[in-house]
């Protein structure tokens, strides 16, 4: 039996199934291709105007922001991961979990809370002036460093999670050897552990950089004109859609650069981690002031990144709920909550369904190597959507659907694809989040080996029975996790929702952002708090999943 070209049903490995798998990837790519095509009709005038006005500042700010957030999250994430994996001290286990929590606060929420607390008029600086006199000069919080501060605090958990998994997986033998050679812990960290973890760190930082590229709300609060903010500015402020599209395609290039750079760094993963299966590393016990410092330092960070903002939100929310005239807030809040849940659930179902179809079609069977190559390629394509800023995805979907919209209008005489329905929005969510759904589903499908299938089939089980008795039970956890992740990401998502939400469909994220950008902080607190609380559970799930060591899979979220 030809092992290479025949799959478990005895058919060639390249068939309709592979094509079906390519389809979702194509769905993700279409809007991006549309954006890329705008390079064909490059408008010199737009670019020379952009170049002479905002573009240099946008480019510089974008690069500085990425460098700043990348370096900060790397430093925080890696050192925290090292701390919790290498040392044992009272509270370490709890800390390990707690350190993920800041991921539950989206930047556009932490940004406004931090602004209200730390800008010139906020209580922090006001108190300092009360102590040290009114002429106290502090650096301007509404600035690039301020934006880096806020984004780093919400994004470091991505690096932390991956670094933690990597450090945990490292072989004790390597460290023992280093120790036997007389190297201290500090040297081992820099010379052994860090280089070995490089692929994971690169993956974590890449995720952080993509999120940073996507942000337009935090940078707007902090007056940092970036490319992503520029797309929104050109599109909805200056109403120059052509310029916005062209700028968006430039942004896409940068995102692509991040993806490629990360792949390069990660491609060494197998090489470095060969032969790392061995007994786990025994943690080093800390005593006295070292143990106290190990606990208090991270707790202080957690306080600023999570405790303080949540406490502030709770205080505002209570004030708002108790002071608002009865009826108004309740009615609106309930409706917006319902909208948000409906949209998020819809997105989660659609994304995971498509991801499942794709993963099922390209899952390893027959020739493992061949199928894996296909999987990798498709996953890589699907990842692109996640790397694209929401505003770019929204523009791409708009670009793609606008002509289609006209056609459909001709047929139906009513339903507007783009704005009266959730169609465009759902499509944009699919583009943006397919990578997340796919990686979750794929990882669990990989547990189903071709042998299991073949064994079941050879015992006479019909395909439907194979599906219900073998596949579904094995993939259930992965699929549920994927559903949850996409659900929460949609719930938190801002730009796509803002630009493509259907008529009358306000969501909590948009509501929060709009109120916050008008400094209606108290009113924004309840929706903000709802988003944060809804994200806490899944954030904890993330650490649970990363414990399973799912960090090395291609296109894997963690």
Partner 1 sequence: MNRRKFLLTPIAGALAVASLSLMQPTATVAQTKIVNVYSARHYGALEKVFAEFTRETGIQVRLSNASTQALLERLRAEGPQTPADVFFVIDVGTLQIAAKEGLLQPIQSDVLKTVIPAELRDPEGRWYALSLRYRTLMYNPAKVKPEELSTYEALADRKWRGRLCMRPATHIYTVSLVASMIANNGEQQTERVLRGWVANRPTFIDSDTRILETIAAGKCDVGITNHYYLGNKLKSDPNFPVKLFWANQADRGVQVNFSGAGVTANAPNRENAIRLLEWLATRGQDPGVAGLPGGNSEYPANPSVQPAEVLKGFGTFKADLASLPQYGPLQAQAIKLLERVGYK
Chain residues 237-256 in contact with partner 1, contact rule CB under 8 A: 237-239, 241
Quote the least distance from Cβ 450 to partner 1, whole Å.
14
Which residue of 36, 236, 304, 337 would you call a contact of partner 1, by CB under 8 A? 236
Closest separation in Å from C-beta 391 to partner 1 = 12
Residues 497-516 that bind partner 1 (CB under 8 A): 498-499, 502-506, 510-511, 514-515
Least distance from partner 1 to the Cβ atom of residue 340, Å: 13
- Touching partner 1, residues 432-461 (CB under 8 A): none
**Residue 238 C-beta: closest distance to partner 1, Å:** 5
524, 115 in Cβ contact below 8 A?
no
Q: Which of positions 371-400 make contact with partner 1 (CB under 8 A)?
A: 398
Enter the DSSP assignment of 6: B
Q: What's 7-56 look like in SS3?
A: CCCCCECCCHHHHHHHHHHHHHHHHHHHHHHHHHHCCHHHHHHHHHCCHH
Burial 111-137 (b: 16+ CB within 10 A, else e): bbbbbbbbbeeeebbeeeeeeeeeeee
Q: Which C-beta is closer to partner 1: that of 50 or that of 207?
A: 50
Q: Which of 117, 256, 304, 416 is close enough to bind partner 1 by CB under 8 A?
A: 416
Contact code string over 254-293 relative to partner 1, x by CB under 8 A? ----------------------------------------
Contact of 186 with 102, CB cutoff 8 Å: no
Chain residues 13-42 in contact with partner 1, contact rule CB under 8 A:
16-17, 20
For partner 1, the closer CB: 275 or 504: 504
Residue with Cβ nearer partner 1 (82 or 499): 499
* 205-226 exposure pattern, b = at least 16 Cβ within 10 A, e = fewer: bbbbbbbbbbbbbbbbbbebbb
Q: Give CA–CA dist 485/487, Å, rounded.
A: 5
Residue 307 binds to partner 1 (criterion: CB under 8 A): no
Contact status: 56 vs partner 1 (CB under 8 A): no
- Between CA 449 and CA 456 the distance in angstroms is 11
Q: Smallest distance, Å, CB 107 to partner 1?
A: 16
Q: How far is the CB of 357 from partner 1 (least distance, A)?
A: 5
Contact between 470 and partner 1 by CB under 8 A: the answer reads no
For partner 1, the closer of residues 134 and 288 by Cβ is 134
CB of 130 to partner 1, least distance (A): 11
Work out whether 467 is an interface residue with partner 1 (CB under 8 A): yes
Q: Return the number of the residue (176 or 240) whose C-beta is nearest partner 1.
A: 240
Window 340 to 359, contacts with partner 1 (CB under 8 A): 342, 346, 349-350, 352-354, 356-357
CB atoms within 10 A of CB 402: 12
The answer to the question of residue 332 lying near partner 1 (CB under 8 A) is: yes
d(CA 117, CA 100): 23
Q: Nearer to partner 1 by C-beta: 423 or 557?
A: 423
Backbone angles phi, psi at 538, to 5 degrees: -60, -30
Q: Select 103 or 422, whichever has its Cβ closest to partner 1.
A: 422
The residue range among 115-123, 190-198, 444-452, 488-496 that interacts with partner 1, by the rule CB under 8 A, is 115-123
* Site track for partner 1 across 136-155, x = CB under 8 A: ----x-x-------------
CA distance 376 to 90: 42
Q: Which of 38, 158, 180, 242 is nearest to 485 (CA)?
A: 158
Q: Which is nearer to partner 1, 92 or 399 (CB)?
A: 399
Question: How far, rounded to the nearest angstrom, does the alpha carbon of residue 119 sit from its chain's CA centroid?
Answer: 28
Among 12, 463, 537, 549, binds partner 1 (CB under 8 A): 463
CB 281 within 8 A of CB 64: no
Residue nearer to partner 1 on the CB measure, 121 or 181: 121
| Total Cβ atoms within 10 A of residue 10 | 10
Binding window for partner 1 (CB under 8 A); candidates: 32-40, 101-109, 262-270, 420-428: 420-428
Q: Which of 13, 420, 452, 474 binds partner 1 (CB under 8 A)?
A: 420
Residues in binding contact with partner 1, number by CB under 8 A: 75
Touching partner 1, residues 144-203 (CB under 8 A):
none
With vertex at residue 43, the alpha carbon angle to CA 41 and CA 44, rounded to the nearest 5 degrees, is 135
Q: What totals of helices (H) and strands (E) does the chain contain, helices first?
A: 27, 2
Residues 6+ apart with CB under 8 A from 13: 4, 5, 6, 7, 365, 366, 367, 370, 371
Q: Strand runs (DSSP E) across 357-462, as ranges?
A: none
| DSSP assignment of 413-436 | SS--TTTTSSHHHHHHHHHHHHHH
User: Minimum Å distance from CB 469 to partner 1?
Assistant: 14
Q: Does 1 bind partner 1 (CB under 8 A)?
A: no
Least distance in Å: CB of 523 to partner 1?
A: 6
Nearest to 429 by CA among 502, 338, 526, 525: 502
The one among 294, 310, 391, 418 contacting partner 1 by CB under 8 A: 418
Nearer CB in complex with partner 1: 111/538: 111
Q: Which is nearer to partner 1, 187 or 415 (CB)?
A: 415
- Give 331's contacts (C-beta < 8 A, 6+ positions apart): none
Length, in residues, of the chain: 558
Q: Are 229 and 149 in contact (CB under 8 A)?
A: no
Contacts with partner 1, 79-108, as mask; x by CB under 8 A = ------------------------------
- The DSSP 8-state label assigned to residue 471 in this structure reads I
DSSP 498-541: HHHPPTT---HHHHHHHHHHTT-HHHHHHHHHHHHHHHHHHHHH
**Segment interacting with partner 1 (CB under 8 A) among 215-223, 254-262, 267-275, 362-370:** 215-223
List binders of partner 1 among 481-500 (CB under 8 A).
498-499
């Amino acid at each position: 039996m030809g092992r290479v070209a025949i799959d478990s049903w005895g058919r060639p490995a390249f068939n309709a199934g592979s094509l079906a798998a390519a389809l979702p990837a194509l769905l993700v790519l279409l809007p991006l291709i549309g954006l890329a095509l705008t390079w064909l009709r490059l408008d010199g005038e737009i670019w020379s105007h952009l170049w002479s006005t905002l573009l240099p500042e946008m480019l510089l700010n974008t690069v500085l922001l990425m460098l700043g957030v990348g370096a900060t999250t790397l430093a925080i994430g890696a050192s925290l991961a090292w701390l919790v994996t290498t040392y044992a001290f009272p509270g370490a286990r709890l800390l390990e979990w707690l350190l993920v929590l800041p991921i539950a606060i989206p930047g556009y929420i932490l940004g406004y809370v931090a602004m209200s607390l730390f800008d010139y008029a906020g209580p922090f600086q006001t108190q300092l002036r009360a102590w040290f006199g009114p002429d106290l000069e502090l650096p301007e919080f509404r600035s690039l460093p301020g934006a880096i501060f806020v984004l780093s605090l919400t994004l470091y958990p991505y690096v932390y999670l991956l670094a933690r998994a990597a450090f945990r997986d490292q072989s004790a033998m390597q460290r023992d050897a280093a120790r036997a050679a007389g190297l201290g812990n500090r040297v081992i960290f820099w010379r052994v552990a860090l280089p070995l973890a490089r692929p994971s760190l690169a993956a974590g930082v890449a995720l952080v950089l993509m999120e940073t590229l996507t942000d337009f709300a935090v940078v707007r609060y902090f007056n940092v004109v970036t490319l992503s903010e520029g797309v929104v500015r050109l599109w909805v402020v200056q109403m120059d859609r052509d310029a916005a599209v062209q700028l968006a395609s430039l942004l896409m290039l940068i995102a692509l650069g991040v993806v490629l750079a990360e792949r390069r760094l990660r491609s060494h993963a197998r090489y470095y981690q060969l032969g790392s299966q061995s007994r786990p590393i025994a943690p080093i016990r800390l005593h006295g002031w070292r143990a106290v410092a190990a606990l208090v330092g991270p707790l202080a960070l957690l306080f600023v990144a999570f405790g303080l903002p949540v406490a502030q939100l709770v205080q505002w929310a209570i004030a708002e709920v108790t002071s608002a005239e009865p009826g108004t807030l309740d009615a609106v809040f309930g409706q917006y909550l319902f909208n948000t849940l409906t949209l998020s659930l819809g997105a989660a179902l659609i994304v995971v369904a498509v991801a499942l179809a794709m993963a099922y079609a390209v899952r390893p069977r027959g020739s493992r190597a061949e199928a894996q190559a296909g999987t990798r390629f498709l996953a890589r394509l699907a990842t692109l959507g996640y790397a694209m800023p929401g505003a770019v995805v929204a523009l791409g979907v708009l670009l793609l659907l606008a002509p289609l919209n006209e056609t459909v209008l001709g047929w139906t005489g009513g339903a507007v694809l783009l704005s009266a329905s959730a169609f465009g929005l759902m499509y944009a969510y699919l583009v943006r989040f397919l990578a997340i759904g796919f990686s979750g589903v794929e990882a669990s499908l990989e547990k189903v080996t071709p042998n299991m299938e073949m064994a079941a089939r050879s015992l006479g089980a019909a395909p439907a029975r194979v599906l219900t008795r073998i596949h579904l039970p094995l993939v259930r956890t992965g699929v549920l996790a994927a559903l949850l992740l996409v659900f929460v990401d949609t719930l938190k998502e801002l730009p796509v929702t803002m630009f493509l939400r259907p008529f009358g469909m306000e969501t909590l994220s948009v509501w929060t952002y709009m109120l916050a950008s008008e400094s209606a902080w108290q009113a924004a607190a309840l929706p903000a708090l709802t988003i944060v609380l809804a994200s806490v559970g899944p954030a904890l799930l993330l650490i649970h999943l990363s414990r399973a060591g799912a960090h090395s899979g291609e296109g894997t979220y963690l």
